[in-house]
Amino acid sequence: MTYDKIITGGTVHSDTSSFKADIGIKGETIVAIGADLKGTAKTEIINARGKDVIPGCIDVHVHLALPFCGTVSCDDFDSGSRAAACGCITMVCDFAIPGKDQTLEDAHRTWLKKSKGISAIDFSWHMAITNKRHIKEIPAFVERGLPTFKEFMIYESEGWNSDDAMLYATLEKVRRHNGMLLLHAESPRVLDLLIERAHTPAKMKKHGARLHAMTRPNFIEAEAIERAVHWCDVTGGRLYIVHMSTGEGCDIIRNAQSRGVPVLAETCIQYLTMTDERFKEKDGHLYACCPQIKKAADVKRLWEALEYGNEVSVISTDTCSFTREQKAMWEGDFTKIPMGLPGLDTMVPLVYTHGVRTGRLTINDLVRYCSTAPAIIMGMGHRKGRIEPGYDADIAIIDPKRTVKVDWKRLQSRSDWSPWQGEELGGFAHTTLCRGEYLVKSHRFVGKRGHGKLIPRMLPGA
């Protein structure tokens, strides 16, 4: 066997174990794992002695160049994929959201245009169902390798919201055609009422951006998850709650799973590392994302879920970056803040630092939540999420001794601020390979624009 590249001397981590091994790569694929692999004169040796070698991480929840809240999120597939690569991520899943009167097919074409020839890392997207006519397009998209769909219980103003009937009908359809529904779960009617009550000049003057959190108490998310779990239970259609932010959510998912309801949940890095105290800061409005960051008790419960339970399966970013100038559009009105945070550069470093370095998680847990589980759950577990012969050579190498102080100026994201500015983080990529090609070398982005491919997916059990 000849190899194009051999990664030697590193400690290889899977979702369940860690071991010393060399990795042989030919073309885009891992072809050998073993002790002392031998190359030829042409083989490139990547020395990983003293370093952690993990499968490329996968962020299954990003919004790149998304028209939203009256503007367009500032990271696209160019800057977003560069940021991802520097943060150990080798594939992202975006959400293709149809415009008014558009079909899923139209949305799919728009997202192809945004990504193909631009993204340095691999990609796919979930198809957003914003109209009941979209439901009949589900089988065709499952067939072509896009088996995951998204619905929003809120965002009536964007024209994206689904009611219970659409949820129910979509879950029936995904059950029949082996798809899965991803859901933004917040209770729209009560949320609207609370926002309407708070949306007065006096209250806005008094509380500012804090109203964003004050109008979204935990029961807004909890009631929505509970209702969705009910429709999931009676239809048997697979459901995945995106960006779960509350302790109540964890309890509901745990309970549902114990009854055999086919529901999974993800949380995002912002819900594990920040609380709504941030809204009290000067420029607190910058931290507005949706759902908003919650309380210390929620942060604690979400970490417990990761440490001991199964109720949270995946960590993602929900990246939707806006610059300071874009965020300034709010002008004191909490309902006008572009909602979203940057995060692709820093997700894996934050899990590494707050999870692995503190001992709360093992590095195998990091691999599970950021690579293996998202790969399996979203239908690319046959070629991504593991370092094994036959798998794509998507690999990140971390120097465990290196710590970096976060400075947005040195990140690849186009955001001109970072929620984690000044934090000391380990876990940035020393080396990143995507299908055998260098994206990052000695902590420097060297990837090629357009290297990334649309990866066809098929859910387990098909």
- By beta-carbon proximity to Zn ion, the closer residue of 78 and 318 is 318
If phi > 0 it is left, if psi is from -120 to 50 it is alpha, else beta; for residue 450 that is left
- By beta-carbon proximity to Zn ion, the closer residue of 270 and 353 is 270
Q: How far is the CB of 318 from Zn ion (least distance, A)?
A: 4
- By beta-carbon proximity to Zn ion, the closer residue of 95 and 279 is 95
Q: Please report the sign of the dihedral spanned by the C-alpha atoms of residue 242, residue 247, residue 253, residue 256.
A: negative
Q: How far is the CB of 264 from Zn ion (least distance, A)?
A: 16
Q: How far is the CB of 243 from Zn ion (least distance, A)?
A: 6
Q: How far is the CB of 263 from Zn ion (least distance, A)?
A: 18
**Cα–Cα distance measured from residue 95 to residue 62, given in angstroms and rounded to the nearest whole number:** 7
- By beta-carbon proximity to Zn ion, the closer residue of 298 and 318 is 318
How many chain residues interact with Zn ion (CB under 5 A)? 1
CA distances from 88 to 164, 304, 345 (A): 38, 24, 8
Write each residue from 443 to 462 as x if it is in contact with Zn ion (CB under 5 A), else as -, in one continuous string: --------------------
CA distances from 241 to 201, 230, 265, 415 (A): 35, 13, 5, 27
78 touches Zn ion by CB under 5 A: no
Write each residue from 263 to 302 as x if it is in contact with Zn ion (CB under 5 A), else as -, in one continuous string: ----------------------------------------
Q: What is the tally of helices (H) and strands (E) in the chain?
A: 15, 23
Choose among 48, 74, 51: nearest CA to 63: 74
Choose among 339, 340, 354, 320: nearest CA to 423: 354
- By beta-carbon proximity to Zn ion, the closer residue of 114 and 430 is 114
Q: How far is the CB of 69 from Zn ion (least distance, A)?
A: 12
Structure tokens at 170: 């979509």
Note whether 2 and 24 are within 8 A (CB).
no
Q: How far is the CB of 213 from Zn ion (least distance, A)?
A: 18
Q: How far is the CB of 130 from Zn ion (least distance, A)?
A: 14
- By beta-carbon proximity to Zn ion, the closer residue of 76 and 318 is 318
- By beta-carbon proximity to Zn ion, the closer residue of 237 and 340 is 340
Write each residue from 194 to 223 as x if it is in contact with Zn ion (CB under 5 A), else as -, in one continuous string: ------------------------------
* Shortest-Cβ-distance residue relative to Zn ion: 318
- By beta-carbon proximity to Zn ion, the closer residue of 151 and 345 is 151
Q: Residue 357 CA to chain centroid, in angstroms?
A: 21
- By beta-carbon proximity to Zn ion, the closer residue of 318 and 392 is 318
Q: How far is the CB of 340 from Zn ion (least distance, A)?
A: 8
What are the DSSP calls for 235-285, one per residue? H---EEE-S---HHHHHHHHHHHHTT--EEEEEEHHHHH--GGGGGSTTGG
**Cα–Cα distance measured from residue 402 to residue 301, given in angstroms and rounded to the nearest whole number:** 29
Q: How far is the CB of 313 from Zn ion (least distance, A)?
A: 16
- By beta-carbon proximity to Zn ion, the closer residue of 59 and 318 is 318
Choose among 94, 141, 96: nearest CA to 119: 94
* Residues 297-326, interacting with Zn ion (CB under 5 A): 318
Other Cβ atoms within 10 Å of 102 Cβ, number: 17
Q: How far is the CB of 62 from Zn ion (least distance, A)?
A: 8
Largest CA distance in the chain: 74
If phi > 0 it is left, if psi is from -120 to 50 it is alpha, else beta; for residue 427 that is left
The residue with tokens 């030919």 is 26
Q: Which residues bind Zn ion (CB under 5 A)?
A: 318
